[in-house]
């Protein structure tokens, strides 16, 4: 995939299919440690232990619409190709946690992508499922939580054009605040 955000979208859609009520996306970037780690956790139905052993095999999927499941296997391959690692843990009835870690400046690491649009797409596709997004770059942190927004606005759904436009702007501005600019004025991420 051309951006890590596409992996994030794919994996979080697995969470929705697993009937998760809450998805937590954590991205941790450390310039000093040359690390970018993506963690996706959900409280969905979980994955049985026997299936967990083969879950990154592209020919293993629970979907009935196709016979291959490339999402997790491609994410794992991308992490490992960048001197990183991939880990998945799951407990049936409790949820699943997926971790992909990358060498941040590895020549083969694809860009993270447009996280404001990624978060917006997640909000629009999640329905009643809530999202917590935490993004840390060194010691700067941005947090977005749909539960807080719903409570503040006293709404059940965030799928209204004005709310969605505000979310895109809020996430974009929040991420810009935690990113530093290089000498050419480009945002480093």
Per-residue pLDDT 10s for the chain (189 aa) are 799 999 999 999 999 999 999 999 999 999 999 999 999 999 999 999 888 888 787 665 554 554 445 689 999 999 999 999 999 999 999 999 999 999 999 999 999 999 999 999 999 999 999 999 999 999 999 999 999 999 999 999 999 999 999 999 999 999 999 987 443 444 554
How far apart CA 106 and CA 84 sit, in angstroms, is 10
Strands (E), 47-147: 85-91, 95-103, 130-137, 140-145
- This prediction's pTM: 0.89
Structural domains in the chain, sorted by start: 4-178 (3.30.565.10)
To the nearest 10 degrees (0 to 180), the angle between helices 4-17 and 71-81 is 140
């Amino acid at each position: 995939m051309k951006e890590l955000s596409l992996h994030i979208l794919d994996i979080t859609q697995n969470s929705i299919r697993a009937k998760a009520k809450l998805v937590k996306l954590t991205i941790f970037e450390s310039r000093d440690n040359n690390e970018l780690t993506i963690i996706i956790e959900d409280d969905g139905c979980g994955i049985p232990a026997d299936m967990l052993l083969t879950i990154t095999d592209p020919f293993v999927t629970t979907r009935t619409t196709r016979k291959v499941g490339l999402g997790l296997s491609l994410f794992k391959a991308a992490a490992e190709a960048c001197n990183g690692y991939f880990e998945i843990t799951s407990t049936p009835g409790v949820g699943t946690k997926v971790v992909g870690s990358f060498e941040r400046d590895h020549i083969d690491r694809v860009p993270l992508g447009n996280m404001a649009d990624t978060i917006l797409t997640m909000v629009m596709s999640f329905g009643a499922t809530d999202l917590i997004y935490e993004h840390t770059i060194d010691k700067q942190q941005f947090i977005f939580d749909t539960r807080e927004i719903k409570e503040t606005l006293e709404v059940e759904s965030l799928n209204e054009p004005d709310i969605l436009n505000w979310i895109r702007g809020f996430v974009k501005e929040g991420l810009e605040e935690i990113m530093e600019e290089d000498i050419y004025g480009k945002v480093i991420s």
